[in-house]
Amino acid sequence: MSGSEARKIRLLMELRRNGVIDTRVLSAVERVPREFFVPQPFLDRAYDNTALPIGHGQTVSQPMIVALMTQALAVKDKMKVLEIGTGSGYQTCVLARLCRRVYTIERHRPLLREAEARFHQLRIHNVTAIVGDGMRGWPDQAPFDRIIVTAAAEDVPSTLVDQLAVGGIMVLPVGKSGRPDQQVVRLTKTDDGLIPENLFPVRFVPLVAGLPG
């Protein structure tokens, strides 16, 4: 067993101990090689349970947060999922192992190009990606069965709620950037409105409207 494989096993055991019990999610995390998604200087930390910088002020999220948010999303294999914030593409690839198609939006063009190269290299073909303003969502492809946002919104964006199917679930961090009271929230959309649940505290970069200047 290589050192990388041993570190991956330790990480999976840590995820299980901390509440990731969905076997489909654990299998998806196991099948996505995180070393593909971290810069060269951090390769030896690819399976540490920590966020790592990827440039442009962004990070590849902590594996625990990726797994817990994915578990909360309750993705089924025939679903259409919208991801706001492609970043390195790590969360995207985990989702792609679980659903029919992922539509993902990234506001930093260089990050999206790198992520798309990784999708190609890993032969992941059920991802459609664009550069765009995540706050606007992807109305042409709505409605979505699931929506996940990987940056913190001060308030739940109404545009994304509008693009969520009735019966659908959205998982996102809510709270001001840098504040210790950010919470991952799960919203279930019903005919009568939204059912919110606070899940766990996090600290994410802010969800920003528009594209970089």
Cα–Cα distance between 155 and 21 in angstroms, integer?
29
DSSP 81-133: EEEE--TTSHHHHHHHTTSSEEEEEES-HHHHHHHHHHHHHTT--SEEEEES-
Catalytic residue among 61, 88, 158, 177: 61
Q: What is the enclosing helix (H) or strand (E) of 69?
A: helix 63-73
Comparing C-alpha atoms, which of 69, 92, 71, 68 is closest to residue 18? 68
To the query of whether residue 88 is one of the catalytic residues in this protein, the response is: no
Active site residues: 61
